[in-house]
């Protein structure tokens, strides 16, 4: 008999599955606003020109194809941490922040989960809602995954009181995952004042503060501004851990470029944590790919290329923000009397429309507009060519 005879077909991943369903649809004006990957004004994938320039430099560099170390490209890690924590970070200068290269954000999240499980953690709290993959990553790491209130669906706003209340009641030693900026899927971020309050609330407690930073530079268009919460927490003395993804801001999705870092009381402590990250990495995938890390290094160590990158990243954020305004205006001119201000109040890749699952399915069936089942619209998929079509479809199912 076949050794595979008892294998069943696994359920489709909701986000990836949407793409497959969309491909099969031959409706002429079908539109997908599903996966969180940037598209340009013509709806095409976008490779940053600064990345193309870095590619050329690498191609001429005659670089070898040897293994990277378990922790990846050291120069990349230094530059990635500087990018997030800031070049004038005292903690960085004191060597209290150390890290490893990760298999993009997902890989960093998983290594963190496995490491924390090995070191006695039992529970990790995610915002409700959070990125669809978070729950499985940490459940498969052996942690119990719970939620803290985050989004007030009735008012399409942040449930800040609920969030603070739930954080205050987390047992000591719990891990609290915070989205550093551009919350996925709601696009609703705490204000700076609210971050300040969260910092003092969390300071009172014995929690492990863990930032997931997947959109730095992509949210406001200013990478330093998008790192404000992280830098505030480090300034306030929190010994955080953080995962960085370079998928969206550098457009390096398929190159799998990320970093996992930790802020220790001193350099020695941070180095101990990194050594434990490496003991998880070695038997998991041994060492990370070099190309994407070399691209980011080439850009971030050249001031001219860094300046070009920042401009290009801002260009992506600006186009998305323009589409937010266009979608809201188009909904209003379509005759919708609902309040759509959350579409322009939200930030980053996604608009959390407020459509129910039934309305999402009706919009897919009737208008062939594909967003994820929770009503999340990837604003990157909205262009001036399709914004009116999308607005009319939303209005039709939402009225």
Ligand X SMILES: Cc1ncc(COP(=O)(O)O)c(CNOCC(=O)O)c1O
Distance of closest approach, residue 368 Cβ to ligand X, in angstroms: 19
Q: Which of 101, 104, 216, 298 binds ligand X (CB under 6 A)?
A: 104
Select from 19-27, 74-82, 102-110, 196-204 the region that touches ligand X (CB under 6 A): 102-110
Catalytic residue (choose from 159, 166, 189, 212): 212
- Asked about 212 being catalytic, the answer comes back as yes
Q: 140 in helix, strand or coil? A: coil
Distance of closest approach, residue 213 Cβ to ligand X, in angstroms: 8
Q: Which of 220, 241, 247, 383 binds ligand X (CB under 6 A)?
A: 247
CA 204 – CA 206 distance, rounded (Å): 7
Select from 98-106, 193-201, 323-331, 391-399 the region that touches ligand X (CB under 6 A): 98-106
Q: Which lies closer to ligand X via its Cβ, residue 242 or residue 305?
A: 242
Distance of closest approach, residue 336 Cβ to ligand X, in angstroms: 26
Residues in the chain: 399
CA 299 – CA 229 distance, rounded (Å): 24
Question: Pattern 274-313, binding to ligand X, x per CB under 6 A?
Answer: ----------------------------------------
CA 355 – CA 361 distance, rounded (Å): 10
Q: Which residues lie below 8 Å from residue 93, measured CB to CB, with a gap of 6+?
A: none
Contacts within 8 Å (CB) and 24+ apart, 86-91: 86/224, 86/227, 86/231, 89/231, 89/234, 91/234, 91/263
Count of C-beta atoms within a 10 Å radius of residue 152: 16
Q: Does 105 bind ligand X (CB under 6 A)?
A: yes
Write the secondary structure of 242-289 as one string of H (helix), E (strand) and C (coil): EEEECCCCCCCHHHCEEEEEEECCCHHHHHHHHHHHHHHHCCCCCCCC
Q: Does 258 bind ligand X (CB under 6 A)?
A: yes
- Asked about 248 being catalytic, the answer comes back as yes
CA 18 – CA 31 distance, rounded (Å): 11
CA 316 – CA 366 distance, rounded (Å): 30
CA 225 – CA 238 distance, rounded (Å): 19
Catalytic residue (choose from 131, 166, 340, 374): 131
- Asked about 131 being catalytic, the answer comes back as yes
On whether the CB atoms of residues 168 and 205 are closer than 8 A, the answer is: yes
Q: Does 150 bind ligand X (CB under 6 A)?
A: no
Distance of closest approach, residue 8 Cβ to ligand X, in angstroms: 25
Select from 88-96, 145-153, 245-253, 357-365 the region that touches ligand X (CB under 6 A): 245-253
Select from 99-107, 193-201, 278-286, 291-299 the region that touches ligand X (CB under 6 A): 99-107
Catalytic residue numbers, as ranges: 131, 212, 248
Residues that bind ligand X (CB under 6 A): 15, 35-36, 104-106, 131, 179, 184, 212, 214, 245, 247, 253, 258
């Amino acid at each position: 008999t076949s050794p595979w005879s008892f294998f069943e077909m696994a359920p489709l991943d909701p986000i990836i599955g949407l793409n497959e369903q969309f491909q099969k649809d031959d409706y002429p004006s079908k539109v997908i606003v599903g996966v969180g990957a940037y598209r340009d004004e013509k709806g095409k994938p976008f490779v940053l020109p600064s990345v193309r320039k870095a590619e050329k430099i690498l191609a001429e560099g005659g670089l070898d194809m040897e293994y990277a170390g378990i922790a990846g490209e050291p120069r990349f890690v230094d530059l990635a941490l500087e990018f997030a924590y800031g070049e004038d970070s005292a903690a960085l200068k004191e060597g209290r922040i150390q890290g490893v290269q990760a298999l993009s954000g997902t890989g960093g999240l998983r290594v963190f989960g496995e490491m924390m499980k090995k070191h006695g953690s039992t529970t990790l709290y995610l915002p409700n809602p959070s990125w669809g993959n978070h729950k499985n990553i940490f459940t498969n790491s052996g942690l119990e995954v719970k939620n803290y209130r985050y989004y007030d669906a009735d008012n399409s706003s942040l449930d800040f009181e609920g969030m603070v209340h739930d954080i205050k009641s987390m047992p000591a030693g719990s891990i609290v995952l915070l989205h550093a900026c551009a919350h996925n899927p709601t696009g609703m971020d705490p204000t700076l004042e609210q971050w300040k309050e969260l910092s003092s609330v969390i300071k009172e407690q014995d929690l492990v503060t863990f930032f997931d930073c997947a959109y730095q530079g992509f949210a406001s268009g200013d990478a330093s501004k998008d790192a404000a919460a992280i830098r505030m927490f480090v300034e306030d003395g929190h010994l955080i851990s953080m995962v960085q993804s370079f998928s969206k801001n550098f457009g390096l999705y398929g190159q799998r470029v990320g970093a996992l870092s930790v802020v220790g009381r001193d350099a020695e402590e941070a180095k101990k944590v990194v050594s434990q990250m490496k003991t998880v990495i070695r038997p998991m995938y041994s060492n990370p790919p070099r190309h994407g890390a070399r691209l980011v290094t080439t850009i971030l160590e050249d001031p001219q290329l860094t300046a070009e990158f920042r401009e290009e990243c801002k260009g992506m954020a600006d186009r998305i923000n323009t589409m937010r305004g266009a979608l809201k205006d188009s909904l209003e001119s379509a005759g919708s009397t609902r309040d759509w201000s959350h579409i322009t109040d939200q930030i980053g890749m996604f608009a959390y429309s407020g459509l129910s699952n039934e309305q999402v399915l009706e919009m897919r069936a009737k208008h062939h507009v594909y967003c994820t089942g929770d009503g999340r619209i990837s604003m990157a998929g909205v262009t001036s060519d399709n914004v009116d079509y999308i607005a009319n479809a939303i209005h039709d199912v939402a009225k």
